[in-house]
Amino acid sequence: MRVFDGHNDLLYRLWETGDRDGAAFLTSDGQGHIDLERARIGGFSGGLFAVFADSPEFEQTLASTDASAMPLSMDDIEPIGLTHASAICHEQIAIVRRMSAARPDALRICSSTGQIGQAMSDGAVACVLHVEGLEMIDDPRAQLPELYDLGVRSIGPVWSRPNRFGHGVPFRYPCDPDTGPGLTAAGFELIEICQQMGILVDVAHMNAAGVADVASVAETPFVSSHAGVHAICPASRNHTDDQLRTIAHSGGLVGIVLNTDFIRRDGRADPDTDLSSFVDHIRHVINVAGIEAAALGSDFDGGPVARDLADCSALPSLVRRMEAGGLNAAQIEAVCHGNWLRVLKETIG
C-alpha cells in the first residue's frame, strides 16, 4: 500500500546533524525514522516535509525530561526571532533542493498533484514542502511569493508558541485545546493570502480559538497534518469532536500522528504502545467526521514512536492493524493516500 504522509521532520534532522546534502537519506544510513531504502520497503511514497525553526528552550526541556515516565506538559514557549527563523528555514529548504537536484530518482520537490503522481509512478519520494510556524516572515503579501517559488505549498501559521499571526497551542496534558486567543489581524490576512495563492493551511499546532478562526474564513479545505483525538488522549494538541467536524466541514482532514504521547490515553511516550491505539484514533475520526477526514500524519523524525513502528519501513504493519481493526480496503486506501491527494488537488492544484 502506497503511503502519502501528512508530516515529517526529516529536514530538521538533516539540518540539526549538519547533513547539508541529505546523504543520510540518500545513502540510507539507518538513522532516524526515514531514509530512501526504508521508504521503499515500507511504501512511503511521499508526504509533507516540514521546514521548522527550533525553539532552544523547548529542545533543552526535552533533553532533560524522561519523556517515557510522564506526559509532556510545558508552559507557553517563548517566541523566536525573524532572523533566527529565516536563516534556519532557508537552510533546510536548501538541503531538500540539493537532494532533489542531485537525485530526482530518489526524491522530488512537488508543487502540484500532477507532479506528486508522476514522482510516485517513477519510484521517487514525492516531497511537498511545508513551513511549520511562519516566524520567518513579517509581510506575507511581499514575502510569501519567495517561499512559493522555492516550492512551499503548505503552511502552519503557528507552531506551539506565539508569533505575529496567532497563538500556538502549548504542550499540556491533560488539557483542553481552548488555551487562549486565536489568530491576530495579521493571521486572518495570512489565511486569505494563502487561499488566493493556492497554499494549504495547516492548524495542527493551533488552539481551539485558532482553529475556529481559520474555519470562519476558510473558502478551501484546511487540515490538521499531525494530531490525535482529544476524546481518546486529552492532550492540548489533540482535536475535540467538534473540531474534527469543523475540519471535515471545510473538506479537510486530520492526519493522525504516530507519536505515542498523543495517541495513548495516559499521554506517555511509551515505545511499548500497541498499534491498535493508533487505529482507535482513525476509527474515531471516521465515526465522528467521515472517512474523507481520516489520514496519516506520522511526525516521523519529530517525536517518539512505538517499537512496532520504529521507522517508515514498518508501515505495512500499520496497514495490517487497520485491516484487523475492521477497516475495509477502500477505507485503508483513503487513509493511506487517497484523502491527502484529494485535499491537495483541491488546494494546491
pLDDT of residue 191: 98
The model's pLDDT over 94-144, given as tens digits with 9 standing for 90+, comes to 999 999 999 999 999 999 999 999 999 999 999 999 999 999 999 999 999
Please state the φ and ψ torsions of residue 148, each to the nearest 5 degrees: -60, -45
Q: Is the pLDDT of residue 51 over 60?
A: yes
What are the grid coordinates assigned to 41, written together?
Answer: 520497503
Quick one: CA dihedral 65, 167, 241, 3, positive or negative? negative
The domains of the chain, with CATH numbers, are 3-347 (3.20.20.140)
Give the span between the Cα atoms of 132 and 221, in whole angstroms. Answer: 18
Q: Is the pLDDT of residue 62 over 80?
A: no
Confirm if 96 and 49 have CB atoms less than 8 A apart: yes
Q: Is the pLDDT of residue 312 over 90?
A: yes
Please state the φ and ψ torsions of residue 154, each to the nearest 5 degrees: -145, 140
Q: Is the pLDDT of residue 73 over 90?
A: no
Strands 44-51 and 125-132, bridge-based pairing: parallel
N residues, the chain: 349
pLDDT of residue 96: 98
pLDDT of residue 78: 85
* pLDDT-above-70 percentage for the chain: 95
The mean pLDDT value for 230-256 works out to: 98
The mean pLDDT value for 335-347 works out to: 98
Confidence of residue 68 (pLDDT cuts 50, 70, 90): low
Give the span between the Cα atoms of 205 and 168, in whole angstroms. Answer: 6
pLDDT of residue 70: 61
The mean pLDDT value for 275-297 works out to: 97
The model's pLDDT over 2-49, given as tens digits with 9 standing for 90+, comes to 999 999 999 999 999 999 999 999 999 999 999 999 999 999 999 999
End-to-end C-alpha distance for the chain, whole angstroms: 24
The mean pLDDT value for 289-318 works out to: 97
Give the span between the Cα atoms of 146 and 186, in whole angstroms. Answer: 18
Q: What is the dihedral of CA 145, 121, 125, 222, to 10 degrees?
A: 50
For residue 303, give the nearest of 29, 75, 13, 70 by alpha carbon.
Answer: 13
Confidence of residue 76 (pLDDT cuts 50, 70, 90): confident
pLDDT of residue 56: 73
pLDDT of residue 332: 98
Which DSSP string corresponds to 79-142?
P--HHHHHHHHHHHHHHHHHHHHH-TTTEEE-SSHHHHHHHHHHTPEEEEEEEES-TT-S-HHH
pLDDT of residue 243: 98
Q: Is the pLDDT of residue 181 over 80?
A: yes
Confidence of residue 60 (pLDDT cuts 50, 70, 90): low
Please state, rounded to an integer, the average pLDDT across all residues of the chain.
Answer: 95
Q: Is the pLDDT of residue 67 over 90?
A: no
